[in-house]
Amino acid sequence: MIKNILNLGDAALYCDFGVEVNKEINSNVIKYFKNLQKYKIPGITNITPSYNKLIISFDLTEINYEKLKEKVLGIKLEKFDQEIKKIIKVPICVDDEFSFDLNKLSEKLNLSFEKILESFFNKEYFCYMTGFIAGMPFLGDLDQSIRLKRLETPRVKVPKGSLGITEQFCNIYTYESPGGWNIIGNTPIKVFDKFSQINPTKINPGDNVMFYKINKSEYLNWND
């Protein structure tokens, strides 16, 4: 399933699963990620899955590129229970205060607010990866009708909890951060909890997510 392994510098393996971004390729990435987490090959310091790549960092005092490559290619892949499909429900408030880019989106896409939101809330999304900032989930795929590029000038500050969309993806800003995604709402729930050491991320690669609308007073009174 790994198409090619290269070295990324002298202390990481760069595993390429193909050029496409789709659920099937990403499921393979996640399968390797989960197996490697379970095998605990000595010397590995980090495993980073993304859409179609898996990067394995290691401690050069313990192992090197060739030896680790051999070990990774030699692991027997186990299936992880895919029968239990996990669906996570995330409340979103689309009040004007939170959906800064809805106006512009409506213009650019030539669709009404209602249409955009209907397309968005009607779909179930798949989590391809988490990262960039702690716990940020990268979800897809958006309906063809509401896909568009990033903002031309990224915002210096995107508020925590913001729901952003761009191209075929959507994400949630787990911290206030710079960012260029089109913001259409905000969630009151804690998507990342640093005090939960075992399960800090609410949404993990391979999970499915459904969003649902809440109003402003529900948002303000939310008790996570």
Partner 1 sequence: MTKAYFEILRSGINTTLQDEGRLHQYHIGISFSGAMDKRNYLISNYLVGNKSNPASIEFAYQGPLLKLKFGKVSAAIAGNVIFNIIRNNSTIEEGVCYQTFNLNPDDQVDIISTSRSVYGYFSVQKGLMGDYFWGSCSVNTKAKIGSNEGEKFSINQKIYLNQSENKFNLKKINYLNSKIEFIRVIKGTNFNYFSDLGHETFFSNEFVVSKLTDRMGMRLEGPKIKNIVDTNIRSEGLVKGVVQVPADGNPIIMLSDHGTIGGYPKIGVVISADYDKLVQLTPGTKIKFKSIELSEAENLFKIYNLETQNILNQI
Which are the contacts of 173, defined by CB distance < 8 A and separation ≥ 6? 133, 136, 158, 159, 160, 161, 162, 164, 179
Report how far residue 39's alpha carbon sits from residue 60's, in angstroms, rounded to the nearest whole number: 19
**CB within 8 A of 47, min separation 6: which ones?**
33, 36, 37, 54, 55, 56, 57
- Please report whether residue 185 would count as binding partner 1 according to CB under 8 A: no
In the list 72, 92, 94, 129, the residue contacting partner 1 (rule: CB under 8 A) is 129
Peptide bond into 16 cis (omega under 30): no
| CA count, 13 A, side-chain hemisphere, 151 | 17
- Closest CB 78 distance from partner 1, rounded Å: 18
**Residue 49 neighbours by CB distance under 10 Å:** 26
- For residues 27 and 106, which CB has a smaller minimum distance to partner 1 in the complex? 27
Region 65-124 residues binding partner 1, contact defined as CB under 8 A: 65
53 binds partner 1 (CB under 8 A): yes
Among 2, 21, 109, 111, binds partner 1 (CB under 8 A): 21
CB contact at 8 A, 90 and 209: yes
**153 belongs to the binding site for partner 1 (CB under 8 A):** no
Q: How far is the CB of 164 from partner 1 (least distance, A)?
A: 13
Binding test (CB under 8 A) with partner 1, winner from 11, 93, 146, 163: 11
By CB under 8 A, the residues from 132 to 151 that bind partner 1 are: 132-136, 138
Contact with partner 1 (CB under 8 A) among 7, 27, 35, 106: 7
Residues 30-49 that bind partner 1 (CB under 8 A): 33, 45-49
Give residues in contact with partner 1 (CB under 8 A).
6-12, 14, 21, 33, 45-55, 57, 60-61, 64-65, 129-136, 138, 174-175, 192, 194, 197, 200-201, 205
